[in-house]
Amino acid sequence: MADVSQQPDHQDQKVPGAASSDTPQVGTPLGPPPVPRSATPQPSQKVSDVIPTYRASKRFKLSKRDGSHITSLDFDDKGEYIVAACEDETIQVFDVIEGKNTKVVPSKKYGVHLARFTHHSRQILHASTKVDDSLRLLDLHQESYLRYFSGHTDKVTSLSLSPGSDAFVSCSKDNSISLWDLRSRNVQGKLEIATPYLAAFDPTASVIAIASQSTSSVLLYDFRNYDRPPFATFDLAPHEERYTPSTRGRLWSRLEFSNDGKNLLVGTDYHGHFVLDAFEGTLNAFLGGRKGSSGRAAPISSSGRPLGQGDASFTQDGRYIVGGAGEQSEVLVWDTQQISAPGVYLQPTVTLPSRGRTALIEMNPRYNMLATADKDIQFWLPDEGVKSSDK
């Protein structure tokens, strides 16, 4: 298969301006992915009913190259496909419903990292790892690029797409945040901040959070008035001093709002993760229990480790955080309803057995299903044979 190549800029296909109206709301029961007609459908269940019963159900080996890692994962809006960026410079797409690999697109010229579905499931945005530091919008059907987004002068460390429009935000090692629109190759706005290596939209698409790790702070901006100073700044320095003193100012790896907008996750790659009140910035809990590193490079790391995107994520209802266990072959589950007091050190309530290290983890936005990855990808589904005692 030929490597994807640049095509002339042209009119976009129309992209929905907002998330699907049937996207699950808080507390909505989710079912497993639809199954082939020959299989027996399973009833819809609440996340709290199935989270302790998750088991790895299918495993995919992506690369023939020994030691090659997956560096990013992302589900499409409908939860029917997942895209993986790989160290062997391929973009691989999987059909969640059928449980199979449906597309492999080489990107040998530019490399690939942070592959993200747009609101159009046949378009993928990704960062480059060589040649230059541009972002590229790929049409999966034609296997050609629709558009390049140039402006960063160093590696892109984070990509966050608006949940309600064609807007997206990129962070870079050049100490800048760029605001873009998928319909135009021109940058729509720019901010310059010290080490702004992670960014995330809130569920309303009106707020962007930017993590400045060297200053131990998370800054909140009104997306419509991004050129104004942040309306809130959360100082994590005291919490780092208490919980992660040996890695203070480094190893932040994930920034994510819960779907209910109440909590903000600041993931790290060693000791654990911070869960902040998304309105006040107070520390709700520090998530402990992991053992060592996921083996991935943090955005500002010079360790030479494989790239990653963090190994923790909220469940669809915002109640739980699922994450890797560092060097252990397990997936950990923390329950935010077990937070008894602000700033508590929270241990996992559930430990799920895994077939290997969990360096990446993503929750399906529509179904009771998750995916983990290191060198291989594993799909996880609730196991009816496992009894749940967690409510």
Lowest mean pLDDT among 33-42, 247-256, 336-345: 33-42
Letter for the amino acid at 55? R
Whether 343 shows a pLDDT value over 60: the answer reads: yes
Q: Average pLDDT of 284-300?
A: 87
* Measured distance CA(342)–CA(150) in Å, rounded: 43
Quote the pLDDT of residue 11. Answer: 34
Q: Is 164-249 the same fold as 48-61+251-383?
A: no
Per-residue pLDDT band at 300 (split at 50, 70, 90)? low
Quote the pLDDT of residue 250. Answer: 79
Lowest mean pLDDT among 34-43, 149-158, 188-197, 323-332: 34-43
Q: What is the rounded average pLDDT for all residues in the chain? A: 87
Give the Cβ contact number of residue 183 at 10 Å: 13
Lookup: tokens for 162: 């608006």
Whether 26 shows a pLDDT value over 60: the answer reads: no
Percent of the chain with pLDDT over 90: 74
Whether 355 shows a pLDDT value over 80: the answer reads: yes
Quote the pLDDT of residue 25. Answer: 35
User: Could you tell me which residues are beta bridge partners of residue 159?
Assistant: 170
Per-residue pLDDT band at 190 (split at 50, 70, 90)? very high
Quote the pLDDT of residue 182. Answer: 97
Percent of the chain with pLDDT over 70: 85
Domain ranges, ordered by start, for the chain: 48-61+251-383, 68-150, 164-249
110-141 tens-digit pLDDT: 999 999 999 987 999 999 999 899 999 999 99
| DSSP code, position 32 | P
198-218 tens-digit pLDDT: 999 999 999 999 999 899 999
What CATH class has 68-150?
A: mainly beta
Instruction: Judge if pTM exceeds 0.85.
Output: yes
Give the architecture (CATH level 2) of 48-61+251-383.
7 Propeller (2.130)
Asked if residue 271 lies in contact with residue 247, where contact means CB atoms within 8 angstroms, the answer is yes
Give the architecture (CATH level 2) of 164-249.
Beta Barrel (2.40)
Q: % helix / strand / coil in the chain, to the nearest 5?
A: 5, 45, 50
Whether 98 shows a pLDDT value over 90: the answer reads: yes
Quote the pLDDT of residue 14. Answer: 33
Per-residue pLDDT band at 38 (split at 50, 70, 90)? very low
Quote the pLDDT of residue 62. Answer: 77
Quote the pLDDT of residue 34. Answer: 57
46-60 tens-digit pLDDT: 999 999 999 999 999
Quote the pLDDT of residue 302. Answer: 65
Q: Which has the closest alpha carbon to 189: 226, 161, 156?
A: 226
Q: Average pLDDT of 96-120?
A: 94
Q: Average pLDDT of 92-100?
A: 95
Whether 235 shows a pLDDT value over 80: the answer reads: yes
* Measured distance CA(332)–CA(289) in Å, rounded: 8
Letter for the amino acid at 29? P
Lookup: tokens for 54: 């998750």
Stronger pLDDT, 316 or 10, i.e. the higher one: 316
